[in-house]
């Protein structure tokens, strides 16, 4: 693929480095920063994924990083998804318009990975269509049955003998 996604580390002044997605677009490196930071020694530059070797992780676990294996696996799951989504978006963009732009790719990735939480909390979606919110009912208080009267409606066929 001409637009091959890769993962790199941005060196920080801290002990951990931020993982970012890098793709060459129009001769320039497009960078898309993830939410993950990692100790550089726990990132395999060849596979471009977090190290999950139990012998390596055991050293860090001894130093107090008890959930290190789960963290590393979560990072890899996120990176796998980001890789798949970015390649899909590139493929779709090439098919639809014949080109890939940094701006469009960033906008599409932001929609997937950085959509505000309230967008999902404020409306329920089902099959891609917007649905109404369900009213909340207080079940802690007993309720009286509600009686409503409906006006009688005369049926136009009341004159019929059957």
The per-residue b/e assignment along 129-152, b for 16 or more CB within 10 angstroms, e otherwise, is eeeeeeeeeeeeeeeeeeeeeeee
Identify the burial level of 50 via C-beta atoms within 10 angstroms of its C-beta, where 0-12 means exposed, 13-18 middle and 19 or more buried: buried
Model confidence, pTM: 0.69
pLDDT at residue number 8: 97
Query: Along the 162 residues of the chain, how does pLDDT read in single tens digits?
Result: 579 999 999 987 778 999 999 999 999 999 999 999 999 999 999 999 999 999 999 999 988 888 999 999 999 999 999 999 999 999 999 999 999 999 999 999 999 998 775 554 444 443 444 434 334 444 444 444 444 444 444 444 444 443
Nearest Cα neighbor of 25 from 45, 3, 42, 5 is: 3
pLDDT at residue number 118: 59
Q: Which residue has the tokens 């001409």?
A: 2
Instruction: Report yes or no: 72 and 65 within 8 Å, Cβ to Cβ.
Output: no
Domains of the chain by residue range: 6-120
């Amino acid at each position: 693929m001409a637009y091959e996604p890769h993962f790199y580390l941005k060196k920080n002044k801290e002990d951990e480095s931020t993982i970012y997605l890098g793709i060459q677009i129009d001769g320039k490196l497009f960078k898309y920063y993830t939410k993950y930071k990692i100790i550089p020694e726990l990132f395999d530059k060849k596979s471009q994924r977090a190290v999950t070797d139990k012998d390596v992780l055991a050293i860090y676990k001894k130093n107090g990083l008890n959930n290190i294996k789960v963290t590393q696996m979560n990072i890899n799951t996120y990176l796998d998804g980001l890789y798949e989504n970015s390649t899909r978006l590139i493929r779709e963009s090439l098919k639809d318009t014949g080109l890939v732009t940094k701006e469009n790719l960033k906008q599409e990735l932001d929609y997937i990975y950085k959509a505000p939480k309230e967008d999902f909390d404020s409306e329920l979606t089902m099959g891609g269509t917007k649905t109404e919110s369900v009213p909340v009912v207080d079940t802690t208080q007993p309720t009286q049955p509600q009686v409503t009267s409906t006006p009688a409606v005369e049926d136009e066929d009341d004159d019929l003998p059957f």
